[in-house]
């Protein structure tokens, strides 16, 4: 690489790790420093706000900033840790825009139930992060605004729909941030930005208000983080606020288990999408690491209904259709004609196929039977998060003609939606290998309902075996 190429490459990376109150702490480490009195919660918030201001012009990750709050006594596992809430979740006094230009959002009158659960962990919210319109896209891009950019390479996507949260965490602006997942929206940006992203079991955290009203609730809330222990500590702290009695408790997972697992290996999508070479290599190398750690890895097939991709797409279209019909509940000026090209295309597709809805719902609900059958004799399944590596900005833009765009999305998001339909947990962790231009690649582990502890223990083992690559070290 020539000197000019090295300089150009360096300019594409953006981070704000520095010698201030946050340092390079993860959320657990920062909370510990606050508890010990080494720094104050006010200092942590002040320096996080300064980091956000320093990075925002390059990343475009923030939708709404809050004034730095006054700090009284703070409690909880993450007491005093600065963070952000994704802008599809109500935070009292702040507008909830859902990433859409179709209406002018109004200030929320109260916190969403998950916001209250998130705040119970002790975090300090500094604002709201950007997402693509209504969370439909696997990239956080817009027709009429700057995209959220990947801090590892600003010419590439930060993923979606929790792209703003992932960009801030990866760049070091805050150590942890809210995310939610209705088709991969925690795991996809985690994979793109080199983070840990756990999608919990359906019902593990308090239910999303919108999802409860739908025939299949796809959305689960959580966080994106730079360390396994942060994701584990979040889940344990969330359980202190509310725990679903129908699920086994997770408790605080603090490291790897001695248990040796049987892990299925799935390299290509059950519906025939082939992974690209870099992704295949990352998953295969992860399987080899697992075997070296004493686990058994064997190929597995998931016999998902051949209609699954089309059915999920139809259900996606139903969601866009319902938003178009009910949008005035978001803002009296809501105009569905101002929804972006992806949302409009999904809605129009559904209008042409709505008669298929009963069969679509029936087949999607039966997916849990095929998923359970694939787990016979297995503890977890290892797969890619995405079928190919992180695309450049523009590849998945909502300005791309719908027919081309949806083909590109389906060739990219080929693994994550099954867990949303079935309601099962899965986690994205950074692979040891990267793309030739240094972008992270995520690998995914999926489990049966309630298997978060096993997922976290295995993620801890991989992190201990080879610490995750850090942006600030490049």
Catalytic residues: 86, 161, 185
> In 172-307, where does DSSP find H-type helix?
187-193, 228-241, 277-292
The strand ranges marked E within 244-355 are 262-265, 296-299
Rounded distance, CA 437 to CA 38, Å?
A: 38
Three-class SS state of 61: coil
Q: Which residues contact 377 (CB under 8 A, 6 or more apart)?
A: 262
Residue 92 CB neighbour total at 10 angstroms = 12
Residue 19 CB neighbour total at 10 angstroms = 7
Are 327 and 334 within 8 A, CB to CB? yes
CA torsion, ordered 223, 226, 228, 230, to nearest 10 deg: -60
Rounded distance, CA 121 to CA 128, Å?
A: 17
Rounded distance, CA 297 to CA 279, Å?
A: 18
* Crossing angle between the packed helical segments 228-241 and 27-35, to the nearest 10 degrees: 70
Are 81 and 44 within 8 A, CB to CB? yes
- DSSP-derived letter for residue 392 is B
DSSP string, 78-140: TTT-EEEEETTS--TTSB--TT-SSS---B-SS--HHHHHHHTTT-EEEEEE--SGGG-SSS-
Instruction: Please name which of 58, 20, 284, 285 lies closest in space to residue 170, comparing C-alpha atoms.
Output: 58
Tokens of 20: 């201030």
Long-range CB contact pairs, 322-327, < 8 A, 24+: 323/134, 327/102, 327/103
CA torsion, ordered 200, 203, 206, 211, to nearest 10 deg: 100
Are 11 and 51 within 8 A, CB to CB? no
Interior angle at CA 373, CA 370 and CA 375, nearest 5:
120
Strands 296-299 and 440-446, how do they pair? unpaired
């Amino acid at each position: 690489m020539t000197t000019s190429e090295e300089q150009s490459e360096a300019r594409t990376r953006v981070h704000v790790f520095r010698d201030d109150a946050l340092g390079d702490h993860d959320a657990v480490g920062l909370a510990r420093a606050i508890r010990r009195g080494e720094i104050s919660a006010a200092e942590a918030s002040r320096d996080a706000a300064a980091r956000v201001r320093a990075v925002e012009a390059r990343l475009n990750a923030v939708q709404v900033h809050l004034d730095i709050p006054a700090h009284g006594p703070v409690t909880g596992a993450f007491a005093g840790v600065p963070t952000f809430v994704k802008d599809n979740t109500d935070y009292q006094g702040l507008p909830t825009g859902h990433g859409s230009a179709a209406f002018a959002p109004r200030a929320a009158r109260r916190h969403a139930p998950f916001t209250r659960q998130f705040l119970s962990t002790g975090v300090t919210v500094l604002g709201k992060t950007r997402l693509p319109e209504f969370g439909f896209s696997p990239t956080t891009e817009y027709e009429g605004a700057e995209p959220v950019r990947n801090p590892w390479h600003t010419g590439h996507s930060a993923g979606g729909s929790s792209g703003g949260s992932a960009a801030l965490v990866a760049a070091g602006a805050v150590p942890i941030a809210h995310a939610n997942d209705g088709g991969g929206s925690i795991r996809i940006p985690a994979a793109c930005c080199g983070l840990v992203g756990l999608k919990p079991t359906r019902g593990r955290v308090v239910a999303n208000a919108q999802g409860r009203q739908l025939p299949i609730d796809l959305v689960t809330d959580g966080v994106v983080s730079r360390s396994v222990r942060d994701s584990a500590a979040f889940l344990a702290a969330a359980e202190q606020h509310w725990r679903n009695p129908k699920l086994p408790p997770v408790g605080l997972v603090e490291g790897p288990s001695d248990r040796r697992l049987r892990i299925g290996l799935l390299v290509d999508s059950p519906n025939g999408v082939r992974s690209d070479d870099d992704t295949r290599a990352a998953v295969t190398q992860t399987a080899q690491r697992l075997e070296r750690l004493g686990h058994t890895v064997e190929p597995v097939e998931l016999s998902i209904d051949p209609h699954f991709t089309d059915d999920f797409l139809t259900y996606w279209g139903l969601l866009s259709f319902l938003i178009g019909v009910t949008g005035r509940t978001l803002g009296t000026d809501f105009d569905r004609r101002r929804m972006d090209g992806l949302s409009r295309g999904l809605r129009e597709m559904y209008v042409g196929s709505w008669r298929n809805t009963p069969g679509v719902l029936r087949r999607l609900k039966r997916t849990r039977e095929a998923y359970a059958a694939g787990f016979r004799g297995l503890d977890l399944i290892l797969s890619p998060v995405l079928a190919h590596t992180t695309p450049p900005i523009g590849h998945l833009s909502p300005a791309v003609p719908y027919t081309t765009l949806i083909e590109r999305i389906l060739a990219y998001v080929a693994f994550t939606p099954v867990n949303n339909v079935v309601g099962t947990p899965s986690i994205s962790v950074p692979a040891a290998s990267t793309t030739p231009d240094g972008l992270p690649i995520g690998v995914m582990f999926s489990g049966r309902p309630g298997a978060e502890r096993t997922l976290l223990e295995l993620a801890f083992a991989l992190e201990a075996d080879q610490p995750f690559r850090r942006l600030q070290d490049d």
